[in-house]
Structure 1
Amino acid sequence: MSNVIQLLERLGEDANLSDHTLENLKQQMQDLELSEVTQKAILEGDANALETLMNLSPIVCGIIIEDDEDSPDENEDEPQQPSQAVAV
């Protein structure tokens, strides 16, 4: 898994790497000893396949904001307390 991340980091950090030929990219993947299935997923840009191959689950985040009906009017000088939010 770290080899996949290492390659993706290299591609993201070095603008010149993204301009390399397909053969150069294939050679880099072979040098990192990536499996054929992983190489195919990278070449096809298949993020879902990479997540599956790397046993990753998508990150899901939800925010619930409490609707406070008793909140003071906006024109009042009293400081308003922030609404409570929960992130999961």
Structure 2
Amino acid sequence: DVIQRHFGDGSRWGVTLNYIVEREPLGTAGAVLDRLDILDDTFLTMYGDTMLNVDLTRLRHVHEAVQADATLLLHPNNHPLDSDLVEMD
């Protein structure tokens, strides 16, 4: 409620915000799957407690340029013990 009252519909910042209030926690993928009916063909999902210095406009342009079905952004950090890890080969 506090977040919705503060940010409203997002028009103050030139964006459109929609809120999903879960009856029971479904996790990130569960929340997205539960509301596919309101999402455009291209959408961005991020954790609410993540702060990154990343050019999201550039990320979207690359996603569209290669006509990807999905794009995953991996970001290095210096605290792997409390982070999810991705192994790359």
Q: Same-fold call, TM > 0.5?
A: no
Between structures 1 and 2, the one with greater helix share? 1
What is the TM-score normalised by the length of structure 1?
Answer: 0.25
| Bigger relative contact order, structure 1 or 2 (CA pairs below 8 A, ≥6 apart) | 1
Instruction: Return the index of the structure with the highest Cα Rg.
Output: 1
